[in-house]
Structure 1
């Protein structure tokens, strides 16, 4: 999946919307706080609260004080208190002038268990980065573009698909597993990139000499108080306590590597939704090609009568940002119908998800159809029946 930074759609800006997106309140202030929290995430321990703060952190503290005072609310007395509020007060309860679709029920910028930025926080922070510098480039884009260039130079589209599948399904590698990749000649064009994007994991991610890998998404679980484990993926947390898929003994495994965070957020996370959809469609007996045309879009689905669907999967927390990023699916490889797909749990959690997406998208994307993964699989099942094709699941059941 190619990630596109969110930004406002000028044609959608009414007078009220301009006021909502003004300089020192509402959306810009919230986006600045989110960006500051993302910066703090990469500072170690008490360093995050040591003066002088990084410039965006100081700006966030200053702006939040002004915003709270303007709305007759007590401003945070310190950076620590601001962070605490981000973990305890849902965005819809902040004393800010925000658009009605700026946040969903119970949305927080900081996860109260891990005290790390939520996915929504990262999306707000990225909006701020793009608002300040339209030419900003993200690490995930640089890596994916580099992989594309190498695989295109080799003429190996399958190598690119193998690389993408590695990032999605194997974000954690032991020393032996990491070494074995260099004997996999299908990945030869990207061997050097793999070394760069799978850094060593600190021992702080282990407990009692054991690393825990999430049984749902395959990322390393973070040890938290009370002997519990925390998963960084929204989808996993909403399903309850994360199951441990495997334990890695720190002494026996040697160095443990994990895919770097920007790629886990922008490639592994959405990629899990992509391969889940692939699994659901192939279970019907459909032919599915992942990341066709060197990642022109995410899935190409071919029916028995030759009808072709092009699908882009988008696992975004904020439907407004997704709407602003909306664009038509690229025309090649050729297809008959195109869809943007979001995981069904996003729509269940925000009943206005689809409507907010539609309000936010530009005129050039008005014809883009947004459906959930469950709806798409059901539509594929119905189409197979309409053309008289027995689905694989019906054959297996018989």
Structure 2
């Protein structure tokens, strides 16, 4: 098969579904690649290559289906992605993909649906920077015999989206016995750009704790799914932009935002008396918790909009012998309650579609509220620590 073709030749429904998923993923990846963390501001911006590839394949599919294709990238972005739900495109999808009514752009920004499909083909900058930095920190922590350093770095960046100059200096000097630590912080945070500030200040969301780039009209409103849904979202706090540092966009997207529900669960368990170890063994699990009575659990938290895509991402839980300090008796894959409220078939699709879960019957899929409720509350405060 020639690589210069618009797309591969498929036969059968399964192949048609795969073709649709490839096109959706390319277009979604292109939109996210255009956006960074600051948003798709102008159609005059250089187009991500994935967007052009997605357009080429979509156009070929439209011709094959006898329908009119998008007239260039501007039409694809401004009309197809912003106004037309994906199920109106001439593509086939598995029913469990739940594309009905979903749009790739909402209010000029990539929707959560869009961002998750883009994960299948992440933009090059994020792939290189986030993956390379995380790998470097893990490797260095392992070489130093200090695996807790990775957990400590991850905890810090999850909790600190914006740092003033004095805060940034203090953060770099927080681990004086590890000369690599300041470099990790330098690579994790960048200077405030013009697009990220408004009136000489940077906004930090009162819900998710991440920095908010003002929209083209100057409005400051968080785009994170949970924050968009909230009617009681606290007003953002503001930090002087002069000399401040912002968490790099790819770390916001792939480390800090996923880390929020992980930390929330850890602290709720600790409030009931559990001892919670974050990211043990260089993130082999999100956390291991020890109940007040000694029962132990291993947990991975999965905060995804699409159970169909999540099912592909679940991996085998590690098993450690009884003599290991992080050995656990029961494994749990935890989904936040609000995901289940928004999608009644979430658990069914996830368990039926995940080969990893089928091969690990000892792993139970539960919502966060139910797991917290299962921890005995003896009225004694536990603790959350960074795991070795």
- TM-score between both structures, scaled by the size of structure 1: 0.81
| 1:354 equivalent in alignment to 2:354 | no
RMSD (Å), alpha carbons = 2.9
| Residues 62 and 68 in structure 2, CA contact (< 8 A), matched pair in contact too | yes
| 1:167 equivalent in alignment to 2:157 | yes
Shift of 1:334: 0.9
The match for 2:333 among 340, 353, 359 is 340
| Residues 68 and 95 in structure 1, CA contact (< 8 A), matched pair in contact too | yes
Instruction: For residue 109 of structure 2, give the secondary structure of its aligned residue in structure 1.
Output: coil
Q: Distance in 2 between matches of 1:186 and 1:342?
A: 37
State the Cα deviation string for residues 205-264 of structure 1 (Å, max 9, x = none).
Answer: 2222222111122211122255531224222222247533421133xxx22221112211
Structure 2 alignment gaps of length 5 or more: 1-10, 321-325, 382-388
The match for 1:19 among 16, 27, 39 is 16
Change (3 A) 1:201 1:17: same
Instruction: For residue 21 of structure 1, give the secondary structure of its aligned residue in structure 2.
Output: helix
Q: Distance in 1 between matches of 2:64 and 2:76?
A: 17
Instruction: For residue 311 of structure 1, give the secondary structure of its aligned residue in structure 2.
Output: strand
Structure 1 equivalent of residue 205 of structure 2? 214
| Residues 34 and 122 in structure 1, CA contact (< 8 A), matched pair in contact too | yes
| Residues 326 and 361 in structure 1, CA contact (< 8 A), matched pair in contact too | yes
Q: How does 1:308-327 map to 2 (within 5 A)?
A: 308-327=296-315
Q: How does 1:60-79 map to 2 (within 5 A)?
A: 60-79=54-73
The match for 1:328 among 297, 316, 332 is 316
| Residues 28 and 51 in structure 2, CA contact (< 8 A), matched pair in contact too | no
Q: Distance in 1 between matches of 2:95 and 2:332?
A: 27
Change (3 A) 1:225 1:199: closer
| Residues 109 and 121 in structure 1, CA contact (< 8 A), matched pair in contact too | yes
Structure 1 equivalent of residue 119 of structure 2? 126
| 1:285 equivalent in alignment to 2:276 | no
Give the number of equivalent residue pairs: 359
| 1:223 equivalent in alignment to 2:218 | no
Q: Distance in 2 between matches of 1:117 and 1:38?
A: 6
Q: Distance in 1 between matches of 2:192 and 2:157?
A: 16
Q: Distance in 2 between matches of 1:186 and 1:289?
A: 23
Instruction: For residue 305 of structure 1, give the secondary structure of its aligned residue in structure 2.
Output: coil
Structure 1 equivalent of residue 83 of structure 2? 88
Q: Distance in 2 between matches of 1:123 and 1:330?
A: 25
Q: Distance in 1 between matches of 2:100 and 2:34?
A: 25
| Residues 151 and 190 in structure 1, CA contact (< 8 A), matched pair in contact too | no
Change (3 A) 1:212 1:168: same
User: Deviation above 4 Å: which 4+ runs of structure 1?
Assistant: 42-50
Change (3 A) 1:103 1:140: farther
- TM-score between both structures, scaled by the size of structure 2: 0.83
| Residues 175 and 181 in structure 2, CA contact (< 8 A), matched pair in contact too | no
The match for 2:195 among 187, 194, 204 is 204
Shift of 1:392: 4.3
State the Cα deviation string for residues 181-224 of structure 1 (Å, max 9, x = none).
Answer: 12212683422121012111212222222221111222111222
